[in-house]
Amino acid sequence: MMSLRPKGFGVLMLACGDNVEILGIYEHDAKLLSNRATEFWSHIALTSIEVIEYLEKYRPQVLYLVARFDTVGTLCGVSGASVRLGYIMKRAEQMGVRLFIIAVENDLEHLRNNIINSDSMNIMFITKRNRHYDVFMKALIERMSISHKFASAYVDLAPQHGTAQVGRPLPGSLAICPAETGKGIVLWSEPQE
């Protein structure tokens, strides 16, 4: 009998599809983050079903997804099969993911009806990839590897007051963190140029 990999360990980076822009971002980000985590795996999933299969195989602490969702919050692969964001989030949480990063700009209006309330998983959406993205993401992953706490690492980099963010190297982002009240705590960073 084959034993399962423990839940919630390492970083899994996935690109979904064969879009040239997505694959370029994937290659860039893999170079950026590959030496920032103790365990790091990166794969290109040609189908949305493969995204779920890789998630179930690796059971990572961090899921870093390089993908575009359609106007109803669905991830479509090359084969035409599709999976909604809510289902990916649910499976990610079940597999031990503590941070789910959607690293490509997506229209949040298209995704918001598919975001599930999570008891244990943080989700971060990149709303504006700018010249500060690399510095921010490296610092976030490094701080998390020390403290294991996403919210405190995020707030250290992006204080939750607009004037305190001015001049800091920040991309645009929105994060939802689980809270004891059952409602998520929303954190944000305003893109700085």
Residue 5 lies in a domain: no
Tell whether 4 is covered by a domain. Answer: no
- Asked if residue 99 belongs to a domain, the reply is yes
CB atoms within 10 A of CB 123: 25
**What total number of domains does the chain contain?**
1
The pTM score is: 0.92
Q: Is residue 119 part of a domain?
A: yes
Mean pLDDT, range 173-179, rounded to an integer: 89
Give the structural domain span for 145. 11-189
Tell whether the model's pLDDT for residue 62 goes beyond 80.
yes
The answer, yes or no, to whether residue 133 has pLDDT greater than 60, is yes
Helix (H) or strand (E) holding 110: helix 108-111
| CATH number, domain with residue 80 | 3.40.50.2300
Mean of the pLDDT values across residues 49-58?
95
Of the candidates 152, 161, 157, which has an alpha carbon nearest to the alpha carbon of residue 170? 157
Residue 1 within any structural domain of the chain: no
Strands 40-45 and 62-66: unpaired
Tell me: the pLDDT tens digits for 25-51? 999 999 998 887 778 999 999 998 999
Q: What is the pLDDT of residue 1?
A: 45
3 within domain boundaries? no
pLDDT-derived band at 193, boundaries 50, 70, 90: confident
